[in-house]
Amino acid sequence: MLPSVSILQQIGLGVLLVVVVLWAVGLIRLTRRGHYGAGGPDGPPAPRSRARLDAVPRQTGPGGPPSENVELTPAERRAFDDLVRQLSSRS
């Protein structure tokens, strides 16, 4: 026991360490479970990759909104080309 540290500080440190260990164990168990609750209540959980793909809604096509197309003026097109050249020259 360290003489410069009070008993309450030592108890607090012990409690903090226990909480950190429990949190780490819970986090590891959650990440190893792999499905994150993607399955139905009675069915098997969905595979990890399929669950991630189902989480992103379709953006175009028959199930999504129509895609947009915007015509640029020649000045806007030149400004965009200049911006692309500036960004590509930095890398």
Q: Where are the domains of the chain?
A: 7-34
d(CA 61, CA 17): 52
pLDDT tens column, 31-82: 887 655 555 555 555 555 555 666 666 666 666 667 778 899 999 999 999 9
Taking the whole predicted model, whether its pTM rises above 0.85 is answered as: no
Summarize the confidence of residues 10-28 as an average pLDDT. 95
d(CA 15, CA 2): 17
Query: For the residues of 52-90, what is the DSSP string, one character each?
Result: HHHHSPP-SSTTSPPPP--PPPHHHHHHHHHHHHHHHHH
Which residue do the tokens 């129509």 mark? 66
Distances in whole angstroms, Cα of residue 55 to Cα of each of 22, 27, 48, 68, 76: 29, 21, 11, 23, 36
